[in-house]
Amino acid sequence: MGKNAQITSVIGIFFLTFLMCSYISAQEIEYKDYTVIKGDTLWDISGKELSDYFLWPKVWKENPEIKNPDRIYPGQRIRIPLYLLQKEIQPATEPVVIKKPAPMPLITKHEIKKEEEVKITPKKKNYIVNKHIFLASGYISDTIPNVGYIKDTPTGRTIIGKDDYAFIKINKPVKKGDKFYIFHVMEKVKHPKTGKKLGYLIDVVGTAEVVGQEENDDPKIIVTQAYTDISTGYYLDDYYEVDPPIEPENPRTPDIKGYIVASKHLHLINVPYDIAYIDKGTRDGLQTGDLLATLEQGKHIIYNGVLQVINPREKTSTVIIKKSTDALTKGDPVTKIKQE
């Protein structure tokens, strides 16, 4: 073999080796393998590996062999898409400049005064549920409070999640940075005993923010939070800040008689919360944190559950089921907690 042929061969081998290493490196940094341990859920794994529980739909999409996100097993290997983690890391755009502190002025001993420092430690707030659970629990409304809806998406998909983009149809001018709640109507609620219309069950599924609008085109949004899959056609409502309900030190047990008028199983990937809606609200004297009992439907008085009010409205209230001896259903009576 001639000298030129040898050089060409060496260069070819070096180039092939470089390409293979680059390919392997690209494969290594694209995903992180995670082995499921007992008790793991996609919700937990997203929290541990990506520091955001609500990224679980993205993890699920990257693992198409998982048919049911509620069913993962110890020893199963899951691919964690590292781009979800990398996008949270923002590189510094400017160098950090450390300035030398200015010299302290001289103070004579006659000018020194000792003042007592009084440190007030704010009292820790205990919440009945966190903000996300509170929003996702929904409420009953007399009207459908929409200002627009999700029209379509840049990719043509009809189901979207956190960090996905979409175009909206809105009935008012918007600007970049405007925020909205995303919701859909679960059902028209009628009273189980009287048949009277009580309103619409509003299911809040996420939040969105306007990222821009081209001339003569629909505004574009990004989904900033998703509690479940979001579909085109879902409604938008103006965004407003809410605080989760605070657990009172001594919850009241008011003497109220009413009914469960609707229910919902809020399932955020193995974090189950049974939510119900009752036909009593603030006009009946209910307050956040109040405790109520439920009775079985039948001829006898049998207590079968405890509810706590998390979102009282004028005529109805959203409650969380604290405990129950059996499934609570629409039409179950609500009453004062039995005194032991």
Structure confidence by residue, pLDDT tens digits, 58-112: 888 888 888 877 778 888 888 888 777 654 444 444 444 444 445 555 445 555 4
Percent of the chain residues past pLDDT 90, beyond the cut: 48
pLDDT at residue 44, rounded to an integer:
80
What is the domain-level CATH number for residue 50? 3.10.350.10
Please give the single-letter amino acid code of residue 138.
Answer: G
SS3 101: coil
Higher pLDDT, 39 or 162: 162
Q: Which residues contact 129 (CB under 8 A, 6 or more apart)?
A: 137, 244, 245, 273, 310, 320
Please give the single-letter amino acid code of residue 117.
Answer: E
Q: Is 97 inside any structural domain? A: no
Kindly report the average pLDDT of the chain as a whole number. Answer: 81
SS3 142: coil
Q: Is 119 inside any structural domain? A: no
Q: Is 243 inside any structural domain? A: no
Residues 274 and 324: their CA atoms lie apart, in Å, by 10
User: Do the Cβ atoms of 31 and 80 come closer than 8 Å?
Assistant: yes
- Report the number of distinct structural domains present in the chain: 3
pLDDT in tens, 5-25: 554 454 454 444 444 444 444
Give the mean model confidence (pLDDT) for residues 163-190.
95
Residues 142 and 320: their CA atoms lie apart, in Å, by 21
pLDDT at residue 86, rounded to an integer:
55
Give the mean model confidence (pLDDT) for residues 228-252.
93
SS3 183: strand
Residues 16 and 73: their CA atoms lie apart, in Å, by 40
Q: Is 244 inside any structural domain? A: no
Please give the single-letter amino acid code of residue 102.
Answer: A
Residue after which a domain boundary falls, among 86, 121, 147: 86
Phi then psi for 88, rounded to 5 degrees? Answer: -80, -15
**Where does the pLDDT of residue 45 fall: very low under 50, low under 70, confident under 90, or very high at 90 and above?**
confident
Instruction: Give the C-alpha distances (Å, rounded to integers) separating 58 from 64, 103, 161, 228.
Output: 11, 53, 8, 11
pLDDT at 115 over 60: no
Give the mean model confidence (pLDDT) for residues 36-45.
82
Surface-to-core class of residue 82, CB atoms within 10 Å of its CB (0-12 exposed, 13-18 middle, 19+ buried): middle
Domain that holds residue 263: 258-335
Residues 179 and 239: their CA atoms lie apart, in Å, by 5
Residue 79 shares a structural domain with residue 21: yes
Give the mean model confidence (pLDDT) for residues 248-264.
93
User: Do the Cβ atoms of 34 and 49 come closer than 8 Å?
Assistant: yes
Q: Is 39 inside any structural domain? A: yes
User: Could you tell me which of 297, 283, 276, 296 has the C-alpha nearest to residue 254?
Assistant: 283
Higher pLDDT, 99 or 150: 150
Give the CA angle between residues 331, 334, 338 to the nearest 5°.
Answer: 140
pLDDT at residue 81, rounded to an integer:
82
pLDDT at residue 59, rounded to an integer:
85
What is the domain-level CATH number for residue 299? 2.40.30.230
Residue after which a domain boundary falls, among 193, 208, 238: 238
Residues 214 and 127: their CA atoms lie apart, in Å, by 42
User: Do the Cβ atoms of 208 and 224 come closer than 8 Å?
Assistant: yes
Phi then psi for 76, rounded to 5 degrees? Answer: -70, 140
